[in-house]
Structure formats: C-alpha cells, structure tokens
Amino acid sequence: MLSEEHNPSPIGTLIAGATAGSVTAIVPARNEEAVIAKCVMSLACQQEITEILVVNDQSTDGTASVVRSLMEKIPHLRLLESGGLPDGWVGKNYALWVGVKQAKCAWLLFTDADAEQEKNSVSRALQIAQEQSAALISFSPEQVTEAWYEKALIPYIYLRLAKRFSYEQVNDPSSRAAAANGQFLMIRRDVYDAIGGHSSVAGEVLEDVAIAMRVKAAGHRIWFGSGKGIVRVRMYHSFPEMWQGWKKNLYRLMGGTPWAVFREMETNLPWIPVLLIVAGLKYPFLLFVGILFLIARQTSYGLDLARNQYPFSFIFYYVPAVALYVGVLWASYRSHVNGRIQWKGREYSVGAPESAR
C-alpha cells in the first residue's frame, strides 16, 4: 500500500531508547526454499532482534533444511513446526500464532519469507514507535519487479491502494482508517495480547489490515508508511503465482462488495477512449481524439508512478496494467462470491465469519 513518500528521518539514524534485544522476528514459511535464506540473513543483521523464529508451515520442499543449515551460523535462529492446520484458521495466521507462543520479547516483528530487510530497518521502526507513540508500525515494502507482468500489475495495484489507504489518514488518531502490510508489521506484545492476537483474526485473508483495525479501535496509535530503502520484496516469481495471490486478496482490499468492484472497474477502464477509437473505425477524426484521450490517461498514470517512487518508464505498461487489474479484480470477486479461495495448495472457505478448511 503505497502513497507519496513520507519517512521521518534518514536511514541509519540511531534511536534514543531503542535497546538491542527488544524484538522477536517471526517468519511463516510454506515452501519458501528459494528465498528463506536471504530473509533470515537480513534479519540476523538487525541488532535489536534477540530471536528469529521461522515457523515451517507444512512445507513439502527444502525450506526446513535451509533453515537448519542457517541455525549453525545464527545462534538466535530457531525452527518451529506449525503442525496440522486447525479448522477456522488461514495457514499464515496459524503459523504466526505458533511463533508468538514461543516469543520472549516486548516487540513482535511479523515479516514474510520473501522480504529482505535493509540495514537498520528494525531500528528505524523502533525509532518511529518512540517518536509517534505508536503500538504498531508497518512499512509498505519497496516492490521488486522483474517480469513485464510484475511491472504492469503490481505498481498499478499499489497506486490504487494508495488512494484507498492514504498514510496520512491511517496515521491520524482521529480517523477510523486503519491499514498495515504483513510483509513488515511490528507490534508491542502487550497490545497484541490485549486485542486477541491472530486468534481474533484466524480466518482473515487480510490479517494485517484486520489487526491494524483492532489495534486502532482499541485506542492505540498505529503508524504506516513507505518502506523504500527499509525493506524490499519480490512478491511473485511467476504469472500464475501473481494471479493467484491477487485473486485471493484484491476483492477485500478494494472494499469487499459488488458495488465497490463495479466502481473500480468503471473508474479504471478507459471507456471513453475505447469507444472513440472504435467509432474512429468509421470516423477517422474520432480515432484521433480517442488516441489523445488514451495518451492523456497514460500520462496521468505516469505522473502517479513518479509521485510514488516508481520508474516513469512503467508508463508504457499502462494498457496491459489496466487489463490485468480489471481481470484479476473480477476473478477475485468471483472467488469470494463463490465462497472459495486457493493459496499455496490450500483451499479456504470465505464468508462471514470467514473460516478456513
């Protein structure tokens, strides 16, 4: 969830009152053999982290073996097993809950196995917590995009999220707006326990947003901001994986109602340029006008990209970005309406209340 850059102070600033050994990092890992080592090594460089708990969520690849080999070099790294998934839980939520029960520190850092921390990321989060009197700090990570479909869809979605979850509103204690990103979510242990932790959001596919909402509703301050230069993530490594990931989340992120989906489609599809271009097959002047309108929308998108720290060159992905966005939003809507979503080899039933099977 990105909006315009807002970071309170430069990377590397030392924080008064932040002590080494005040944070437990918890990483849920299901078939993360390819990325888990880089994640763990980046956490091991954070001096404020006393323990790193990787929770193996019934992986069928070499995730556990990679972590065990790292344990020989990193004394404060532990490997936990999530065991079977209880009814009513999403796998990630249960893995984090298993980790929390073994955690010993006053702060809990939840991060994903594909997240790579930059130097002093945890120090930075603790500094913000102190300066803002915040009980929850979350960064929206810098997104690494390599394939064309990543460069098209991921920035487009994050720009839409920036309009829906502005940092200013989320960080305003007088606003009801609340959001967080589970790729870097740090929370005080006492506050986590007081809101019921992950057991209170066991079946939520957007557990990060749900936890932020509960923390703010309980009267605590939250802080959510850009993670550029702090934490970076390449979320997906194939088109099917990307499609399935956003199909799981996008409907809920964009409001979770059919009307919200209709509004998003109506807002994002370039109806007027397309109609003019089609009419231009008979009336050439309208074709020219339609192309001008499309270029204007594309230029506006490029300016949004630049404001949100994305390469302006991604402007050339505008048309496929819109097509992919509308397609995956519709697929997400259909999945949620049908009551079933899939992720990492599991199928979850979704409804009210949401449950996992």
Q: Which of 29-38, 177-186, 272-281, 343-352 has the lowest mean pLDDT?
A: 343-352
How much is the pTM? 0.85
**Cα angle value 116/121/127 (rounded, 5°):** 160
pLDDT digits (tens, 9 = 90+) for 49-68: 999 999 999 999 999 999 99
Percentage of the chain with pLDDT > 90? 68
pLDDT at residue 347 tops 80: no
- Beta strand 107-111 with 115-117 is unpaired
Helix (H, G, I), strand (E, B) or coil at 180: coil
Q: In this predicted model, what pLDDT tens digit does every residue of 283-292 receive, in sequence order? A: 888 888 888 8
Residues recorded for the chain: 357
Give the CA-trace dihedral at 142, 145, 150, 153, to 10 degrees. Answer: 30
Angle (CA) 232 242 251, round 5°: 100
pLDDT, tens only, 55-102: 999 999 999 999 999 999 999 999 999 988 898 899 999 999 999 999
Average pLDDT of the chain, as a whole number: 88
Q: How far is CA 337 from CA 145, 161, 183, 257, in A?
A: 30, 21, 27, 9
Q: Which residue has the higher pLDDT, 127 or 275?
A: 127
Residue 2: the pLDDT is 46
Write the pLDDT tens digit of every residue in 14-55: 333 445 459 999 999 999 999 999 999 999 999 999 999 999
Q: CA-to-CA distance for 190 and 79, rounded, in angstroms? A: 24
Q: In the predicted model, what is the mean pLDDT of residues 253-282?
A: 86
pLDDT at 156 over 50: yes
Asked if residue 230 has pLDDT above 90, the reply is yes
Burial 27-52, CB ≥16 within 10 A → b, else e: bbbbbbbebbbebbbbbbebebbbbb
